[in-house]
Amino acid sequence: MSKNTQVLIDSLPEGKLSESNYKLVESPMPEASEGEVLVKTIAFAITAGTRAGLQGSASYAGAPQTGIVMNSLGVGEVIAGDNSSFPVGMKVQARTGWQSYSVHKTSELTEIPEGTDPLHYLGPLGINGLTAYFGLLEVGQPKTGETVMVSAAAGSVGHMVGQIAKLKECNVVGVCGTDVKCEKLISDLGFDAAVNYKEANFRQTLKESTPNGVDVYFDNTGGMILGSALFRMNTGGRIACCGVVSQYDTSSPEPGPKGIPGLLVNKRIQMQGFIVFDFASEYETARSEIIKWIDSGKLKILTDEVKGLEAAPTAFVDLLAGGNIGTRIVRLDLE
Amino acid sequence: MSKNTQVLIDSLPEGKLSESNYKLVESPMPEASEGEVLVKTIAFAITAGTRAGLQGSASYAGAPQTGIVMNSLGVGEVIAGDNSSFPVGMKVQARTGWQSYSVHKTSELTEIPEGTDPLHYLGPLGINGLTAYFGLLEVGQPKTGETVMVSAAAGSVGHMVGQIAKLKECNVVGVCGTDVKCEKLISDLGFDAAVNYKEANFRQTLKESTPNGVDVYFDNTGGMILGSALFRMNTGGRIACCGVVSQYDTSSPEPGPKGIPGLLVNKRIQMQGFIVFDFASEYETARSEIIKWIDSGKLKILTDEVKGLEAAPTAFVDLLAGGNIGTRIVRLDLE
């Protein structure tokens, strides 16, 4: 146990991300200084948003760098340190990155209460769940009976957006990239409709699936799907801009969709970009509501588990190609 | 006085609008039925937004049609009718269109109080002034000390947006298409800076003119200027989407700017489309505030007058090429 296994960013992708952009290394075991704790990773989430951090220009995730551990949210157990608030044995949520051990200031940690599955802090109680919660409810402001559309609907955020919208008694239409995902959204998660954007007749099917138009569009993708959504938006509609997965896995993002800003004017549409961190002061309120939904069976958790650090690069490349259903989690506790 | 002179839409423009898309005709004098009044046009405004009504797809102005009188807001005098609320001799604002006489239901009229110059109802008290007022104050929500950027800044809406922003103690940067306009915005209207978007170094000059970034962007143009504004927006910035003049005079609008929705997410930007009609219940409150600004000399009125109905088509073509400074008004009362 004297070594730390890490996945480093070895090179920045020129076009699409590939496994060769990463390098698995053995490093010395990190040590906790005063005020810090050492965390052993249980699992971490792989999410599309971290791809933006590898692109040429700086994003909110900062400018891209090589030679560093790949960034991700994880959960783990405190195994060393001298802090009464985060004692040895406590489970925590932290930005562990893709590595087996990491050192953290306690201000960077979130305690996971005893009795709660730590993996929930990578899903419904983690950044993905909170993003779905605040983006839909605070930014999208759906009202009972309205139609909510969500893209990347089988993804870690999308599958929760749709379920929360159903809890708010909305009609829910998901957009995703395979018929298997469409089927799962409808039969397992209660979506009213789901549309495969890779089908040639996508725009027509989307139209038929939204007979009353769209009042709230939760956009995880940008690009063509955003362009199609604009034409289905009702007057006074709201677009919660959460992510741009269609543009992450490339070095030259496309122009924005036609109809911006023309359709925004004609239909008085609001587009609002948001980042979940802006709602940090309300996380605990949200988590207590989400826990109630989970406990009562109203919110289903969809995870897509992968085993072992060495599987992470392939799991990320595959996720960017739409390979995941639900939250993709890399588990180190099964090794 | 038995004839009505009218300018009809003779054909829809294939590319850019030209004078040949219009036809001047003599028609029978219209008559007011019960509940209607006959209005003699004093003047009407020519605004870029009506160009959208001539494009292939339906806009908020409705689907395009030929053989009808060209649409516009005007002011005139009631010369016949039997209505005690709108008696003969009263000055009114109405959608007169490009013609010398028109018949209106009284519900479509706005009374112009005695003692007020009717032409003000085509400028600061008309749709343009109200659009500037509500778009800036209600949609843009500028705060003291913030930087407000406005495109088509020498246009009928833009030159008022900038002045109202100065009244609210903001830093104001206008974007327009000639150096003469830039000079006028700064020296006559008190803008802090003005940038000519046709200059090769526009983006660099815009950057230098907005050292603290942009908090509110009032977008009259869309296209490249919107794209440039996105890169100058501060976190939490607001874009009031008012019009898309860069895309009106064409049959095939461009794609939207790069950076949508990516920059919206990173910088938590809000884009909100609006149409002034949505604020109709607040028009009179706005007008009384605007009148105070005019009377105290704090809001300057910039008009660009043209004489005679037959001059209207050329005046419109020229306006779409950026030929106007201030509100372009076609006066029939000088003939």
Spell out which residues of chain A touch residue B257, defining contact as CB-CB under 8 Å: 255-256, 260
Name the least confident of A31-45, A247-261, B162-176.
A247-261
Report the residue of chain B nearest A256, measured CA to CA: B256
Q: What is the pLDDT of residues B35-83, one digit of tens each?
A: 899 999 999 999 988 888 887 655 555 678 899 999 999 999 999 998 8
Which of A243, A256, A265 is facing B259, going by the closest CB pair? A256
**Residues A262, B222: C-beta atoms closer than 8 Å:** yes
Q: What is the mean pLDDT of chain B?
A: 94
In the predicted structure, residue B256 carries a pLDDT above the cut 90: no
Q: So what's the pLDDT on residue B259?
A: 87
Minimum distance, in Å, between the CA of residue B221 and any CA atom of chain A: 9
Cβ <8 Å between B272 and A261: no
What pLDDT, on the 0 to 100 scale, is given for residue B57? Answer: 57
Residues of B in contact with A226 (CB under 8 A): 261
Per-residue model confidence as pLDDT tens digits over B216-225:
999 999 999 9
Looking at beta carbons, which residues of chain A come within 8 Å of B260? 222, 256-257, 260, 271
Q: What share of chain B is helix, strand, coil (3-state, %, to 5)?
A: 35, 30, 40
Residues of A in contact with B265 (CB under 8 A): 60, 241-244, 273-275
Average confidence (pLDDT) over B161-181: 98
Instruction: Specify the pLDDT at position B288.
Output: 96
Q: Looking at residue B49, what is its pLDDT?
A: 84
- Given a cut of 60, whether residue A58 has pLDDT beyond it is no
Q: How far is B197 from chain A (nearest CA, A)?
A: 18
Range with the lowest mean pLDDT among A109-113, B23-27, B257-261?
Answer: B257-261
Q: What is the ipTM of this complex?
A: 0.88
Q: Are A170 and A202 in contact (CB under 8 A)?
A: no
Instruction: Tell me, rounded to whole angstroms, the distance of Cα B147 from its chain centroid.
Output: 22
The pLDDT, as a whole number, for residue A335 is: 61
Which tens digit of pLDDT belongs to each residue from A233-242?
999 999 999 9
A222 vs B contacts (CB less than 8 Å): 260-262
Percent of chain B with pLDDT over 90: 86
Residue B1 has pLDDT above 90, yes or no: no
Residue A18 reports pLDDT greater than 70: yes
Tell me, what DSSP letter sits at residue B59?
B
Give me the domains of chain B, ranges plus CATH numbers.
3-123+301-331 (3.90.180.10), 127-277 (3.40.50.720)
Contacting residues of B for A241, CB less than 8 Å apart:
261, 264-265
pLDDT value at position A50? 86
Q: Mean pLDDT, to the nearest integer, of B125-153?
A: 97
The residue-averaged pLDDT of A4-8 equals: 97
Q: What is the mean pLDDT of residues A152-168?
A: 97
pLDDT of A256 higher than 90: no
Structure confidence by residue, pLDDT tens digits, A177-200: 999 999 999 999 999 999 999 999
Return the closest-CA partner of residue B332 out of B76, B22, B73.
B76
- β-strands A36-46, A101-105: how paired? antiparallel
Interface test with A, best of B235, B272, B275 (most A CBs within 10 A): B272
Distance CA A241, CA A218 (A): 6
Is A256 in contact with B257 (Cβ distance < 8 A)?
yes
Q: Is B231 helix (H, G, I), strand (E, B) or coil?
A: helix
Q: Inter-chain contact B263–A273, Cβ cutoff 8 Å?
A: yes
Mean pLDDT of A149-163: 97
> What is the pLDDT, as a whole number, of residue B61?
56
What's the mean pLDDT when you consider all of chain A?
94
Percent of chain A's residues with pLDDT above 90 = 86
Q: Which of A230, A264, A267 to mutate to test the interface with B (most CBs of B within 10 A)?
A: A264
Smallest Cα distance from B213 to chain A, Å = 17
Spell out which residues of chain B touch residue A259, defining contact as CB-CB under 8 Å.
Answer: 253, 256
pTM comes to 0.91
Cα–Cα distance, A187 to A178 (Å, whole number): 15
Residue B327's pLDDT is 96
The stretch A31-41 carries a mean pLDDT of 95
The minimum CA-CA distance between B269 and chain A, rounded to whole Å, is 5
Q: Which of B219, B262, B270 sits opposite A261 (nearest CB)?
A: B219
Chain B CB contacts of A260 below 8 Å: 222, 256-257, 260, 271
Q: How far is CA A136 from CA A45, A130, B164, B335, in A?
A: 21, 10, 34, 59
Instruction: Taking residues B98-104, report their average pLDDT.
Output: 97
Residue B104, pLDDT > 90, answer: yes
Q: In this predicted structure, what is the pLDDT of residue A4?
A: 97
B88's tokens: 């003969």
Model confidence pLDDT, tens digit, residues B13-23: 988 999 999 99
Mutate to test the interface with A, among B271, B275, B276 (most CBs of A within 10 A): B271
Angstrom distances, CA of residue B208 to CA of B195, B203, B224:
10, 9, 18
A62-118 pLDDT per residue, tens: 678 899 999 999 999 999 998 889 999 999 999 999 999 999 999 999 999 999 999
Per-residue confidence (pLDDT) for residue A255, from 0 to 100: 81
> For chain A, what is the HEC assignment?
CCEEEEEEECCCCCCCCCHHHEEEEEEECCCCCCCEEEEEEEEEEECHHHHHHHCCCCECCECCCCCCECCCCEEEEEEEECCCCCCCCCEEEECCCCECEEEEEHHHCEECCCCCCHHHHHCCCCHHHHHHHHHHHHHHCCCCCCEEEEECCCCCCHHHHHHHHHHCCCEEEEEECCHHHHHHHHHCCCCCEEEECCCCCHHHHHHHHCCCCEEEEEECCCHHHHHHHHHHEEEEEEEEECCCHHHHCCCCCCCECCCCCHHHHHCCCEEEECCHHHHHHHHHHHHHHHHHHHHCCCCCCCEEEEECHHHHHHHHHHHHCCCCCCEEEEECCCC
pLDDT confidence tier of residue A320, bands split at 50, 70 and 90? very high
Q: What is the pLDDT of residues B181-217, one digit of tens each?
A: 999 999 999 999 999 999 999 999 999 999 999 999 9
Closest residue of chain A to B261, computed from CA coordinates: A222
